């Protein structure tokens, strides 16, 4: 059976930290190559990506700008990143479509569920942009919703320099403990900083497993796409015998 996965990449994942540019061609090429490797290993794998925009603008970090307007700016930033990622995919010969939650018809298709499923069926990588198209949300929440809608088996949360969910900030506390698996309510009640609470709650309400992993390790992204690694933390419901309960929406066009 076809397997769908949704990879959430923050804006930081494509940021050119040391250089002058807002996006790093190297990082975009890396993610693209990783997706290509996974698709080669599992030809029926359907991949969707949700890109953030934090490397350019985060609405709540623009003091003095009306929050709704600032969030619109943030959503536009995600479209910029999505176009850069699509360009990298085009160069690598990977067929992709940008689908935006915010209308931007000159550069991206609008998100329509049936059309998205058709792209996946045709083995196109979907790059989701524009978040949900509404302010006061984040691309984490948009990723949780789209993953649920398209029937993804798992939501992969790519992190830089953090290889999972810890009991406290591992950069500040030497006694921080890493979880191999953890349930949604524990993430929320312990206020663990993984993704925003709305996103975690949406995943919980729809039994969408979230795999948090560090992209720095070699082939980390392709291994995560292929479900071949446990070097991270799985946020999920599990049965007493350790079976992960997942989102079992069948793939439909
Ligand atoms: N945003 C929004 N609604 C959405 C998704 C995103 O208003 O549904 C805005 C918000 O300002 C957010 C910015 O877009 O801060 C960039 O997205 P995000 O912060 O999630 O990017 P990331 O942290 O993943 O790079």
Q: Is the pLDDT of residue 253 over 70?
A: no
In which band, very low, low, confident or very high, does the pLDDT at 248 lie, cut at 50, 70 and 90?
low
Residue 41 included in any domain:
yes
Count of domains in the chain? 1
What is the span of the domain harbouring residue 200? 3-245
Residues having CB closer than 6 A to ligand 1 are: 10-12, 52-54, 58-59, 71, 74-75, 77-78, 131-132, 134-135, 137-140, 142
- Best of 75, 81, 103, 133 for a ligand 1 pocket test (most atoms within 8 Å of beta carbon): 75
Residue 148 included in any domain:
yes
Residue 141 included in any domain:
yes
Residue 250 included in any domain:
no
Instruction: Please give the distance, rounded to the nearest whole angstrom, from the Cα atom of residue 168 to the centre of ligand 1.
Output: 24
Q: Kindly list the distances between the CA atom of residue 94 and the CA atoms of 32, 33, 90, 225, in Å, as whole numbers in the listed order.
A: 8, 9, 6, 16
Residue 73 included in any domain:
yes
What is this structure's pTM?
A: 0.95
Q: What's the pLDDT tens digit per position in 220-243?
A: 999 999 999 999 999 998 777 777
Residue 75 included in any domain:
yes
Residue 252 included in any domain:
no
Q: For the domain that residue 124 is a member of, what is the CATH number?
A: 3.40.1160.10
């Amino acid at each position: 059976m076809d397997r769908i996965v949704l990879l959430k990449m923050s804006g930081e994942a494509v940021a050119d930290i040391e250089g002058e540019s807002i996006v790093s061609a190297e990082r975009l090429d890396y993610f693209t190559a990783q997706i290509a490797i996974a698709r080669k290993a599992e030809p029926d794998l359907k991949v969707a990506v949700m890109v953030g925009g934090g490397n350019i603008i985060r609405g709540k970090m623009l003091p003095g700008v009306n929050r709704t307007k600032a969030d619109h700016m943030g959503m536009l930033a995600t479209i910029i990143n999505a176009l850069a990622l699509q360009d990298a995919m085009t160069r690598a010969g990977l067929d992709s479509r940008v689908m935006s939650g915010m209308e931007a018809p000159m550069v991206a298709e609008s998100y329509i569920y049936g059309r998205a499923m058709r792209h996946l069926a045709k083995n196109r990588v979907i790059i989701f942009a524009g978040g949900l198209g509404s302010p006061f949300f984040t691309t984490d929440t948009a990723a949780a919703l789209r993953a649920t809608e398209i029937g993804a088996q798992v939501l992969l949360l790519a992190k830089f320099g953090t290889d999972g969910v810890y009991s406290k900030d591992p950069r500040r506390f030497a006694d921080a403990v890493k979880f191999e698996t953890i349930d949604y309510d524990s993430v929320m009640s312990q206020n663990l900083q993984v993704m925003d609470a709305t996103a975690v709650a949406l995943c919980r309400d729809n039994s969408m497993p979230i795999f948090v992993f560090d992209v720095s390790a070699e082939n980390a992204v392709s291994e995560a796409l292929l479900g071949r690694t446990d070097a991270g933390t799985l946020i999920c419901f599990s049965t007493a015998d350790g079976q992960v309960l997942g989102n079992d929406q069948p793939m439909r066009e």
